[in-house]
Homo-oligomer: A and B are copies of this chain.
Amino acid sequence: MRAVDCIRKKRDGGELSDGEIGAMVRGLSTGEAADYQWAALLMAIYWNGMTDAETISLTNHMARSGIVVDLSSIPGVKIDKHSTGGVGDKTSLILAPIAAAAGILVPMVSGRGLGHTGGTLDKLESIPGFRVDLDLAAYRSTLRDQGLVMIGQTAEIAPADRILYALRDATATVESIPLITASILSKKYAEGIEGLVLDVKTGLGAFMKGLDDSRRLAESMRSIGNGLGLKVRVLITRMDQPLGRGVGNALEIAEAIACLRGEGPADLVDLSVELAAEMVLMGGVSKTVEAARERCLATIADGTAVARFRSMVKAQGGDPAAIDDPNLLPQAKFTYEVKSPRTGFVSGLNAESIGRGTMLLGAGRERVDSTINHATGVILDCKMGDRVEAGDALCTIHADSRGESFDAAVELIASAYDFAETAPEIPRLLVEKF
């Protein structure tokens, strides 16, 4: 197998064998497949796609470029959840302790935010002392002792994915369904899980804005996950406006804690419980989704969910007092209210504009090497469907400095709001699940 022959085969629409794909992935570390050869192959895949068999091979070889963790010595069903990324989406922080309190083991390897979407690791790091860089031994022991663990991708987890993702980012080959599928599932498969609940976002603030694309990605993830022997359940959910009210790292941690205490906004609580219920159902803890939902809601009502979150935070070096008193989380220097320019109903609240605006406040990364300000962000006082009077506060910006970036952020965040005379119809968050 020569790398150039694999590239030519894919360029000409052929199907690569498992042996060829394995050699290309191994070649990344041996040098037999240079990064420029992979770049050409990625562009050929962008054009010609991959069959399910090819995508399963790619995912498998990417996972096996590092350690596929064996969690079988820890009793219990291990199930994770993955979202394709949204704005204000802090469901992982809510559903993981709920599912853990309901009897599922939740080993979660998460990522950082980039562009307009946030990342679970950045949010967690706004809790003073919280460590996401546990090694695999600590990952296993925390999962065994706490029932959940939340870490970043270690050097041992799918190293080929890190190389290929950086290459895709630099070569305009990110937007390819088989490549997205392989990137996500290689990491999830390497975690040592048995099942995965996927939240595929669709809409203005999603990576895949159109429903057809979202559905194709969802179907690909399910087929490939099943091909790897994973149970997979997919929910396609709307990401037109941000989820919940807080956007920004510490603000989202505070909101997640509120949800775990039963004090969260309905959209966020409902979706988190729905995803957790699918994990509980998949794990066989409940027999029906209704029973699973009840069981999840009970963990909020009886305080076991928030307790589980607190003990996980403590086990990972974080200050558990911050869970009881969110004022201990990083606080921005000042707040600024964006006023409504008119009277009427909020008919639109563009999630991408809110995401980009908070990025300008320092809450997100413009580039991979940007640093994050954990305190900044926005609280959405009004969301779609809310009635407002001219001059009412639409949202409250939490910022650390004034200047050009702040002004641009305010403008972008204000522009996210659209208005109408009459109350708009708000589509259901859950589009479909399968």
**Contact call B3/A37, Cβ cutoff below 8 A:** no
Does A7 belong to the interface (CB within 8 Å)? yes
Nearest chain B residue, comparing its CB with the CB of A5? B172
Cα distance, A37 to B3, chains bound together (Å): 17
Does A44 belong to the interface (CB within 8 Å)? yes
Q: Restricting to A313-330, which residues have a CB under 8 Å from any CB of B?
A: none
Q: Restricting to A42-71, which residues have a CB under 8 Å from any CB of B?
A: 42-44, 46-47
Report B-chain residues with C-beta under 8 Å of the C-beta of A171.
4, 7, 36-37, 39-40
Seed contacts A34-B36, A37-B171; 14 additional CB < 8 Å A-B pairs: A4-B169, A8-B172, A11-B173, A35-B35, A35-B36, A36-B36, A37-B39, A37-B170, A40-B40, A40-B43, A40-B173, A43-B43, A43-B47, A44-B172
Nearest chain B residue, comparing its CB with the CB of A2? B170
Nearest chain B residue, comparing its CB with the CB of A167? B36
Render A408-422 as a binary contact track against B, CB cut-off 8 A, 1 for contact. Answer: 000000000000000
**Contact call A11/B43, Cβ cutoff below 8 A:** yes
Q: Restricting to A115-169, which residues have a CB under 8 Å from any CB of B?
A: 167, 169
Render A287-316 as a binary contact track against B, CB cut-off 8 A, 1 for contact. Answer: 000000000000000000000000000000
**Contact call A40/B37, Cβ cutoff below 8 A:** no
Main SS of the interface on chain A? Answer: helix
Report B-chain residues with C-beta under 8 Å of the C-beta of A46.
11
Does A345 belong to the interface (CB within 8 Å)? no
Report B-chain residues with C-beta under 8 Å of the C-beta of A4.
169-172
23 A-B residue pairs with Cβ-Cβ distance under 8 Å, sorted by A, are A4-B169, A4-B170, A4-B171, A7-B171, A8-B172, A11-B172, A11-B173, A34-B170, A36-B39, A36-B167, A36-B170, A36-B171, A37-B39, A37-B170, A37-B171, A39-B39, A39-B43, A40-B40, A40-B42, A40-B172, A40-B173, A43-B47, A44-B172
Cα distance, A47 to B173, chains bound together (Å): 14
Does A207 belong to the interface (CB within 8 Å)? no
Q: Which of A35, A43, A170 has the most CB of B within 10 A?
A: A43
Does A38 belong to the interface (CB within 8 Å)? yes
Task: State how many angstroms separate the Cβ of A369 from the closest Cβ of chain B.
Answer: 15
Cα distance, A44 to B172, chains bound together (Å): 10
Cα distance, A61 to B242, chains bound together (Å): 47
Report B-chain residues with C-beta under 8 Å of the C-beta of A35.
35-36
Report B-chain residues with C-beta under 8 Å of the C-beta of A8.
172
